[in-house]
Amino acid sequence: MQNKLYHMGIRGKIARSTLAYANETRDWRIYQDFAHVLIHHARELYSKDAFGVSLEETVYALDSTTIDLCLALFPWAKFRTHKGAVKMHTLLDLRGNIPSFIAITDGKVHDVNMLDVLIIEPGSFYIMDRGYIDFERLYHMHRAQGFFVVRGKSNLSFRRQYSNPVDKASGLRCDQIITLSSPASVGKYPEQLRRIKYSDPQTGKSYVFLTNNFELAPKVIADLYKSRVRGARPSSLVLLIYDTPYSWTVVISSVCIVVVTSILISSRMYFLQYFTCLVSGVSGW
């Protein structure tokens, strides 16, 4: 650790208490504003980057990461009886896996609540797992002209209107136009939905997707969901930092500093990767 500090221009030893005091008193919003600037520039650099699906529209992946904290040290981080945690909710632009929205909440906050605070971009795609199924909120996204691809639950009650032909050799099992049949769900999402069942040829695992997009090929919908698992780098960096013995302070501002700093590190990686490939003449950048 001391060698790294030396190369940063810090010649003497620094006590942890000094770092803890700095984290407690320094406003984390300084880092937030800087991160917004870097993210804006990084998204411009990667706006034409390929992510495995040929699509001109912006594609986002919405997910969350639970950061475990010691309840004795972080008494404000309520999660369970003997366990503390906060959640980092991240909206990733899949062109470059760059975060465009981050929210830090109590560990008890359910993922689906993030749909209430997102500003939906018309024409963009939002890829989500089953934790984000709330038909009232999804209908709000539909009315805002955003497209969603969400993994369906096994207990979904629906009526099939008709089925489109599919190429079963590609792993597709069905492409159906459906309406919800549950009395509680019909009023929340009164329009048609598209239900696609796909079996991954490599793993043999079956997936059911629900979407409000009726134009894209069913295999493209499946590929969009597969693309969401690519490199959640900011979340990984946060967890890595909290696994080290240098989480110097326990106030909420320090947690925000750690999270935003991980985003700054991630954004810097994007710039280094971009310009390295640019200088070396790698095609596709």
pLDDT at 256: 61
Other Cβ atoms less than 10 A from the Cβ of 182: the count is: 13
Burial, 17: exposed, middle or buried (Cβ in 10 Å; 0-12, 13-18, 19+)?
A: exposed
Which tokens sit at 129? 């797992």
pLDDT at 208: 96
pLDDT at 68: 80
pLDDT at 285: 34
Q: How far apart are CA 63 and CA 94, in angstroms?
A: 12
- In angstroms, what is the C-alpha Rg of the chain? 22
pLDDT at 206: 93
pLDDT at 9: 64
For residue 194, the cross-strand partners are: 177, 211
What architecture is domain 27-273? Answer: Alpha-Beta Complex (3.90)
pLDDT at 282: 43
Taking alpha carbons only, the member of 267, 258, 264 closest to residue 238 is 258
Global pTM?
Answer: 0.75
Other Cβ atoms less than 10 A from the Cβ of 176: the count is: 19
Over its length of 285 residues, how does the chain's per-residue pLDDT go in tens digits?
Answer: 556 666 656 667 777 777 667 766 777 677 777 777 777 776 677 667 767 787 888 899 998 888 887 777 777 777 887 778 888 888 888 887 778 888 888 888 899 999 999 999 999 999 999 999 999 999 999 999 999 999 999 899 999 999 999 999 999 999 999 999 998 899 999 999 999 999 998 888 999 999 999 999 999 999 999 888 654 444 554 444 444 444 444 445 556 666 666 665 555 555 455 444 444 444 333
Which tokens sit at 191? 């329009």
